[in-house]
Amino acid sequence: MLIVFNPTAGRRRRQRLDRALAVLRRLGFGFDLAETARPGHAEHLARAAAQAGQGLVVAAGGDGTIAEVAAGLAGSTAALGVLPLGTANVFAWELGIPIRPEAAASLLAEGEARGLYPGLARFGDGSARLFVQMLGAGFDAAVVAHLDLGLKQRIGRGAYVWGAVRELARYRFPPLRLVFADGEMRASSVIVSKGRLYAGRHLLAPAAEAAAPGFQVAIFRGSGPVAAAAYGAALPLNLLPHMPGLVLRPATWLRIEGEGVAVQADGDPAGRLPVEVAVAPTPLRVLLPRRAGFARAA
């Protein structure tokens, strides 16, 4: 097993990693540990490991690190394991992967690999990017793009709240055009979600089935700072899905247009519109709790 550790993900991550490694050693599990040195490095490490015949590659980090490892494993038979050390850890909450390092390490020993279908984003410049949990365009991507990373290191998720408040004052809410296989819609923001949860364990898309190929698309039709503030206030109360102006619909493909508008994938800046979103052609084998019960929103 190779563990790919992002030393910049989340807070107190190294102590949390050490707690997980202590359990693996106690269980007699052999592992190699590799630290990422830059964005994108986890993908290279994972691909090289899979090509060398490694059967299990563990992403020790947040959702961005998981997505990079997933991209490196794409098309191989190696399974993805997760030690959730990130700031929001939405993928882990969604799939019932324990957040406690000791329990997450035990899962690496006793979990079962199940096939999940990531999303694949293709951008106007020809680049492509895999995402495991969600992709957003518009307001939330602007928050991610302008996030104060120093503040995130210090206070964690609060940095996103502060970033959102700042963004309310300056975001211009340019209109987006969403093209589905069966028609078009206008929106001020959109989140394409593999799962039910968003920003930790808050409810976004109750009908989502994380293990199924395809997405729930959250289409924010309310525009302007007042609507965005209302959506933001509803999120921690798990009332977002019921907000006026929010439309949720399933899709397996869509194109999002809005010249120059920021895109985020799994909580990291991912480029700019236009983007085409589809289901990845090959499933990703992910180590999950046996009889995985997908988590409830908090």
Ligand X SMILES: Nc1ncnc2c1ncn2[C@@H]1O[C@H](COP(=O)(O)OP(=O)(O)OP(=O)(O)O)[C@@H](O)[C@H]1O
Binding of ligand X by 226 (CB under 6 A): no
Q: Is the separation of the CB atoms in 203 and 240 below 8 Å?
A: yes
Least distance between ligand X and beta carbon 265 (Å): 9
- Rounded Cα distance between 89 and 133, Å, is 10
The answer to whether 273 and 256 are in contact (CB under 8 A) is yes
Q: Where are the alpha helices (DSSP H) in the chain?
A: 13-26, 41-51, 63-73, 90-95, 101-110, 139-145, 149-155, 158-170, 225-234
Site map for ligand X, 87-126, x if CB under 6 A?
xxx-------------------------------------
Q: Could you say whether residue 12 binds ligand X (CB under 6 A)?
A: no
Residue type, 13: R
Residues 6+ apart with CB under 8 A from 71: 43, 46, 129, 130
Q: Which is nearer to ligand X, 159 or 246 (CB)?
A: 159
Report the residue from 1, 2, 10, 197 that binds ligand X according to the rule CB under 6 A: 10
Q: Which stretch binds ligand X (CB under 6 A): 85-93, 140-148, 255-263, 275-283?
A: 85-93
Judged by CB under 6 A, the stretch of 38-46, 71-79, 179-187, 188-196 that binds ligand X is 38-46
6 neighbors 85 (Cβ within 8 angstroms) = yes
Contact in structure between 135 and 147 (CB atoms under 8 Å): no
Stretch that binds ligand X, among 22-30, 83-91, 110-118, 273-281 (CB under 6 A): 83-91
Q: Confirm or reject binding of residue 86 to ligand X (CB under 6 A).
A: yes
Q: Residue 265's beta-bridge partner residues? A: 135, 268
- Using the rule CB under 6 A, is 8 a contact of ligand X? yes
Q: Under the criterion CB under 6 A, does residue 246 sit at the interface with ligand X?
A: no
Q: How far apart are CA 98 and CA 201, in angstroms?
A: 13
Residue 195 binds ligand X (CB under 6 A): no
Radius of gyration of the chain (CA): 18
Displacement of CA 97 from its chain's centroid (Å): 14
Distance between CA 286 and CA 262 in Å, rounded? 29
For ligand X, give the closer residue by CB, 3 or 219: 3
Binding test (CB under 6 A) with ligand X, winner from 12, 28, 30, 38? 38
Interacting span for ligand X (CB under 6 A) from 6-14, 108-116, 121-129, 161-169: 6-14
Using CB under 6 A as the binding rule, whether residue 39 contacts ligand X is answered as: yes
Q: Is 268 in the site for ligand X (CB under 6 A)?
A: yes
The encoded tokens of residue 186 equal: 């206008």
Is 167 one of the binding residues for ligand X (CB under 6 A)?
no
Sign, CA dihedral 38-40-42-48, equals: negative
Which residue, 193 or 223, is less far from ligand X as judged by CB? 193
Fill in the per-residue mask, 41 to 80: x = in contact with ligand X (CB under 6 A), - = not in contact.
x-------------------xxxxx--x------------
Q: Which of 27, 33, 37, 128 binds ligand X (CB under 6 A)?
A: 37
Residues forming contacts to ligand X in the complex (CB under 6 A) are 6-10, 36-39, 41, 61-65, 68, 86-89, 267-268
